[in-house]
Amino acid sequence: MKKYFCHCFFSLLLSAASFLTISHHKTSVQTDNFPSPSTSQRTILTAALSIKESSCYELSRSFIGYVQAGKKSQVGFEQGGLLQDIFFNEGEHFSQGEVLAILDTSKLQALRQEMEHQLDQAQAQRDLAIITHKRIKELTFQQVSSPQALDENQQNLRIQEATVRLKKSQIATIDLSIKKSKLIAPFSGVITQRYLDEGTVVRVGQAVFEIQDLILEVRVGVPQTHAKKYIEDSSANLRINEKDVPAKIKAILPVRKMSTRTVDFIFELPYSADIKTGDIAIWQQVQIISEKGFWLPIGSLTEGIRGLWACYLLEEISPSNENNKKSKKNKKKLYQVTPCQLEVLHQEKERVYVQGSIQNQDLIVAEGVFRVVPGQIVSLKHILFSSVK
């Protein structure tokens, strides 16, 4: 009986050992059929970029200014009075020397007429003093009249002559006031604003019109580092109302604004009905920065360490022995993703100018950087070539 149980126990052990051997063999076969981890991680990229080194890049700077009139003034009368007539309205053009408005001069005309009568009276008294002086002089020569009478008559004659001159000066003052009752245009231009109407009593110096010159200018604030490169009377191109406008540097002011620390440039514009005062003008300048680097698409950047930017460099690798046959069959090169820290020097729309440990003709991931990770083995679909411009 004991022999029988020993024989059964030995048979069970032999069966269990055989089952474990067969299971291990099947597992080994199935494991050999699975691809390697590196093979399962291969990704077909949409594009890789072959970079090319550039010796410099262009830095475009835009300086913004505004259009203003070459001459702008608020004109009014030098004396007060009743505003009688206005000859121009807003938007109308005028020439230098034209009469824009006049004051009522009826009171001044009456005063002038009064002064003319007083002048006639003074002239008559002067003429009488001259005749009297001649007579007294003859009588004094004949020793009929005293020298005292002659002296008094001479002084009276001087008084009457001075009175005549005074009346003439008063009439000239009234004539000047009548002349000042006309508002004369100091330069040719256009009426931009009219403040008063006929019948208003105008104070001394009160503005009646706002006028401006037809010649327009542009005032632009420029940093001192750029201002040193230009001289007066040189040509320039401005961007106004989405159009390129030729201009000339009329003046470079010798002072710097305290608020902006810039130097004002005054540009003279040609006459154009499309340009109005207050329009925004843009003066765009291109500066060449001599700094070696590479142009990369902005989509190729990824976040690096310590707040820096990085790109993914593609380094070609040799296939492993177990995948050598498959790699030759597919005829595709394999690359390993390696992060590379960058310094961004300049950005233009969809590209950036960078420096870093990358070299000329290196391959980088051009797009889809979120689909790969450092150390991953990938293959390429196609390669793009960067431009140095």
Q: How far apart are CA 231 and CA 251, in angstroms?
A: 8
In order, the DSSP letters of 139-166 are HHHTTSS-HHHHHHHHHHHHHHHHHHHH
For residues 73 and 185, the answer to whether their CB atoms sit within 8 Å is no
Q: What is d(CA 381, CA 369) in angstroms, rounded to the nearest whole number?
A: 15
Tens place of pLDDT per residue across the chain (389 aa): 444 444 444 455 445 444 444 344 333 333 333 234 344 445 566 678 899 999 999 888 889 999 999 899 999 999 999 999 999 999 999 999 999 999 999 999 999 999 999 999 989 988 888 888 787 777 777 776 677 777 777 888 888 899 999 999 999 999 999 999 999 999 999 999 999 999 999 999 899 999 999 889 999 998 887 888 888 888 888 999 888 999 999 999 888 888 888 999 999 998 876 888 889 999 988 888 889 999 999 999 998 888 789 999 998 887 654 455 454 555 578 888 999 999 999 998 889 999 998 999 899 998 888 888 888 888 887 777 766 55
Question: Strand pairing of 363-365 and 309-317?
Answer: antiparallel
The pLDDT of residue 287 is 82
In what helix (H) or strand (E) does residue 327 lie, and over which residues does it extend? helix 324-330
Residue 281: which of 291, 289, 269, 299 has the closest Cα? 269
* CATH code of the domain occupying 105-180: 1.10.287
The pLDDT of residue 308: 86
Question: Tokens representing 362?
Answer: 């290196």
Q: Which two tokens stand for residue 269?
A: 């514009």
CATH 1.20.1050.90 fits 57-100+183-289, yes or no: no
- pTM value surpassing 0.85: no
Reference 51, options 332, 363, 276; nearest CA is 363
| pLDDT for the residue 352 | 93
- Measured CA to CA, the distance from residue 263 to residue 247 in angstroms comes to 18
196, 208 Cβ separation under 8 angstroms: yes
> In the prediction, which pLDDT does 129 show?
84
Dist CA 44 CA 170 (whole Å): 103
Candidates 246, 221, 219; CA nearest to 61 is 221
What's the pLDDT at 223? 87
pLDDT of residue 330: 53
What does the pLDDT read at residue 334? Answer: 86
CATH number for region 37-56+291-385? 2.40.420.20
* CB 153 within 8 Å of CB 132: yes
Q: Sketch the domain layout of the chain as residue ranges.
A: 37-56+291-385, 57-100+183-289, 105-180
Cα 338 from Cα 302, distance rounded (Å)? 12
